Amino acid sequence: MEFVAPSSDDEGVDFSDQIAQLALDPMTAIFEKLADNERHHLKALFVKGRVDGQPMTKILVDGGAAINIMPYVVYQKLGKGDQDLTKTDMMLKDFKGNVSPVKGAICVELTIGSKTLPTTFFVISGKGVYNLLLGRDWIHANCCIPSTMHQCLVQWVGDKIEIVPGDSSYVIASAEADTYERTRCISGEIWEKDFLKVADYEIPPIQVVGSDEEF
């Protein structure tokens, strides 16, 4: 994979019209530069898929997480019980440093777009804004490139590439997702204030994954 961009020696280049081109042999994927009103959002990337053939929405693709997580309530809705869990010594730590064990692990056939991959999830007791969370374990194993800004992911399917769009139905149905669609980016501009009021940017309180507490 190579990132194709003008060299520093090029003269007279209008960078406002440039694109990010990914040479994903034998095909090429292109990320266009979005207009300000299209990229100034803080939306997470959610996609649709199937778990063991069952439709699943609100699948969060999160490159900040190392592993894949499934809340226990979703696990139960898939018709699975404690007898289907594989015991594990995996421990999870939240933002406060609190460590807690997971209930177990499960391997399922996860289909995103046209691609199916055996995917291991760690089942937790907590709940989140997602039905499934896909971390770097899945992102790298699935050989894909997610883009929160473009609200899509690019994945290899054999020697070809596929662009999977984000789950826009979740954005429409979720009040929180709508909030992040309206939220303005704090970074990208210089500000000099004695106090940073996040409400000025319409940023809601942040909630720890798997926790009911806001901070």
**pLDDT given for residue 25 in this prediction:** 55
Question: Which segment of 58-62, 82-86, 155-159, 207-211 scores lowest on mean pLDDT?
Answer: 207-211
114, 158 Cβ separation under 8 angstroms: no
Confidence check: pLDDT of 162 > 60? yes
Do 49 and 110 touch, CB atoms closer than 8 A? yes
SS3 201: helix
Q: What is the mean pLDDT of the chain?
A: 75
pTM: 0.70
Q: At 28, is the secondary structure helix, strand, or coil? A: strand
pLDDT computed for residue 126 by the predictor: 79
Most confident range, picked from 40-54, 60-74, 196-210: 60-74
176-210 residues labelled b (16+ CB within 10 A) or e (exposed): ebeebbebeeeeeeeeeeeeeeeeeeebeeeeebb
Ramachandran quadrant class, 82 (left: phi over 0; alpha: psi -120 to 50; beta: rest) = alpha
pLDDT at residue 124 in the model: 92
pLDDT digits (tens, 9 = 90+) for 72-114: 999 999 999 999 999 988 888 776 778 888 999 999 999 999 9
Give the pLDDT mean for 169-188.
Answer: 54
Q: What is the pLDDT of residues 183-201, one digit of tens each?
A: 555 665 666 666 666 566 5
Secondary structure letter of residue 3 according to DSSP: E
44 contacts 62 by C-beta, under 8 angstroms? yes
The full 3-state SS of 33-100, as one line of letters, equals: CCCHHHHCCCCCEEEEEEECCEEEEEEEECCCCCCCEEEHHHHHHCCCCHHHCECCCCEEECCCCCEE
For each of the domains in the chain, give its residue range(s) and CATH number, in order of start: 1-33 (no CATH), 45-171 (2.40.70.10)
Residues 6+ apart with CB under 8 A from 132: 49, 51, 56, 58, 59, 60, 68, 69, 70, 74, 110, 121
The number of angstroms, rounded, from the C-alpha of 70 to the middle of its chain's C-alpha atoms is 14
State pLDDT tens for residues 10-43. Answer: 444 443 444 455 555 555 556 566 565 555 667 8
Task: Measure the CA–CA gap between 45 and 18, rounded to whole angstroms.
Answer: 24
Cβ–Cβ contacts within 10 Å for residue 124, how many? 23
- Mean pLDDT of all residues in 119-148: 91
What does the alpha-carbon distance between residue 166 and residue 41 come to, in Å, rounded to a whole number?
Answer: 14
Residue recorded with tokens 């883009």: 147
